[in-house]
Structure 1
Amino acid sequence: MKYLLIAFVILFCSLTTRRSKAQTAAADNKLSQTITFRPIPKGLDVAGVFQGRPPCDGVAKQLNISVPADCPKLKWDLILYQDPTTQQPTTYALTLVGGGELFKQPDGGAYRQQSLKGKWIITKGARSDANAVVYRLALNTGAHLYLLKGDDNVLFVLDENKAFRVGNIDFSYTLNRVTLVPGNK
């Protein structure tokens, strides 16, 4: 009991004396690797490839895609493109599996997938931090999708008001930079 009380006091003091940040840069915050069976985007025009599995709640409505009533998550694959000379943002390609158009397979199965494309820019300011770096992706509905840059390897999906979205016990609104590794069929 004594050790539990000491641990609680240490935890409480560390939480109350430090300023919280969205992402702490660390030496071990490295690129993730993911296996793919599709062409791997390469070149100076690729600013980054990010993947994640955010919950369906809220974001499906913002993206204007249909999802099943029991949708737990959407698998995101985001490719950000840039001008190869100036490295300024140009376009993006976002593929969402689990929502969108229904595709039927020859074996009788089906899956939902939606592909979104558009332009993106880098802006400043989120609800929690006026100086935060935010990527603004233009959606075909006239709305925008906001992604807060935690560091070079992490993006946080924000809501329409540039506030953090809260995930659940299984999934978070986080996208991680990945290195795509060719798979063997």
Structure 2
Amino acid sequence: MRTLLLLLIGSLGLLNAQDSHKDDTAIELQASTPCDEAMKTMLQIKESGVIDFIRWNLVLTPNNSFELNIKYGESKPNTMGFVIEYHQEIKGTFSTQKSSVPKGDIYQLSTGNSGLRLSLLKLNENLFHLLGPDQQLMVGNGGWSYSLNRKNPTRQKAAFPTLATATLTKATPYVAVFDGRTPCTELANEYAIPVSDECIKLKWRFTLYRDSVTLKPTTYTAIRIFRRAQPITGTWSIEQKGETVIYHLNPDDKKDEALQFLVGDDNVLFFLDKQQRMMVGDENFSFALNRKMK
């Protein structure tokens, strides 16, 4: 009995030690993002020619150092690869600071020798979003977003982060179009979307409308593409939780599931699951939508 008691005490001590060090592990992030001119400048990419997207692997260590491996080039049609692949390995240090707009912790990555500077907003333990030179959320395109996803997601402590209040303000019945590609299986399982076993991505386009006088949300149209376009129509509403804004999309056809989005700002939306938790993507696609610019 005494031996068993000692073993139990030892096991509890080991568990407590593991709990006390669980925040000391490195954070490994992965993603595929666009490569616009601002990103080329921030990453000091010198190669000429077409560069459609970047594949990221970023490790943030407990001693405030980082290792970044990126691969980039022109997208090879019908694959996840490149026509010609370039790569960089970058090491440096990072610091964190509180920000009011956008609200949250900003990770500033820098290297002493090259002058490289990158900023990421921590959305939660599993998601970070790249910031542009203006320190606002970078806006992706219909192919890729600027969100980085934790490779081995942890259990989320909060349903969603507190971001600055964001509402669409232009006084016009036509509001905005949001595009994006997301992983397939997770969304299909969460929202009972009929797809086949080989589905690896879903393409989306949402158009939101408001009343031209009251500016209140009215209707939306959505196109979901897996092999063929599936049009969806419905109504949408805005939920305000303190400084957090959530869009609710309710389809006319009750066979389609209602969707929820966390508003990052006027230009970036993040998919939420049914429990209003942010969904975590993979190395190819993120669960974010980007406003289509005119």
- The alpha carbon displacement at 1:141 in A equals 3.9
The structure-2 alpha-carbon separation of the partners of 1:24 and 1:85, relative to structure 1 and needing over 3 Å to count, comes to farther
Instruction: Give the corresponding residue for 1:68.
Output: 196
Instruction: Specify the SS of the correspondent of 1:58.
Output: helix
2:227 is the alignment partner of 1:115: no
- The alpha carbon displacement at 1:64 in A equals 3.4
Instruction: For 2:233, give the aligned amino acid.
Output: K
- The alpha carbon displacement at 1:147 in A equals 0.5
Within the candidate set 264, 267, 272, 1:153 is matched to: 267
2:284 is the alignment partner of 1:170: yes
The equivalences for 1:58-137 within 5 A come to: 58-98=186-226, 111-125=227-241, 131-137=243-249
- The alpha carbon displacement at 1:72 in A equals 0.9
Instruction: For 2:188, give the aligned amino acid.
Output: A
User: 8 Å contact 1:32–1:179 — kept in the other structure?
Assistant: no
Instruction: For 2:250, give the aligned amino acid.
Output: A
- The alpha carbon displacement at 1:124 in A equals 2.2
The structure-2 alpha-carbon separation of the partners of 1:6 and 1:25, relative to structure 1 and needing over 3 Å to count, comes to closer
Q: TM-score w.r.t. structure 1 length?
A: 0.68
Structure 1 or 2, whichever has the larger Rg, is 2
- The alpha carbon displacement at 1:60 in A equals 2.1
Instruction: For 2:228, give the aligned amino acid.
Output: R
Post-superposition CA distance 1:75-95 (Å, at most 9, x none): 100000110111110011110
User: 8 Å contact 2:141–2:179 — kept in the other structure?
Assistant: no
Question: How many residue pairs get matched?
Answer: 150
- The alpha carbon displacement at 1:143 in A equals 4.6
- The alpha carbon displacement at 1:67 in A equals 1.0
Post-superposition CA distance 1:109-138 (Å, at most 9, x none): xx332111111000024xxxx531000111
Instruction: For 2:268, give the aligned amino acid.
Output: V
Instruction: Give the corresponding residue for 1:48.
Output: 176
The structure-2 alpha-carbon separation of the partners of 1:168 and 1:119, relative to structure 1 and needing over 3 Å to count, comes to same
Calculate percent identity across the aligned residue pairs: 34
Instruction: Name the CA distance, whole Å, in 1 between partners of 2:213 and 2:185.
Output: 39
- The alpha carbon displacement at 1:10 in A equals 3.6
Instruction: Name the CA distance, whole Å, in 1 between partners of 2:141 and 2:198.
Output: 29
Instruction: For 1:174, give the aligned amino acid.
Output: A
Q: 5+ unaligned residues in a row in structure 2: which ranges?
A: 1-62, 67-91, 99-103, 106-121, 124-128, 143-170
Instruction: Specify the SS of the correspondent of 1:157.
Output: strand
Instruction: Specify the SS of the correspondent of 1:60.
Output: helix
Instruction: Name the CA distance, whole Å, in 2 between partners of 1:6 and 1:164.
Output: 25
What's the C-alpha RMSD, in Å, of the aligned pairs?
A: 3.0
The structure-2 alpha-carbon separation of the partners of 1:137 and 1:68, relative to structure 1 and needing over 3 Å to count, comes to same
The structure-2 alpha-carbon separation of the partners of 1:142 and 1:44, relative to structure 1 and needing over 3 Å to count, comes to same
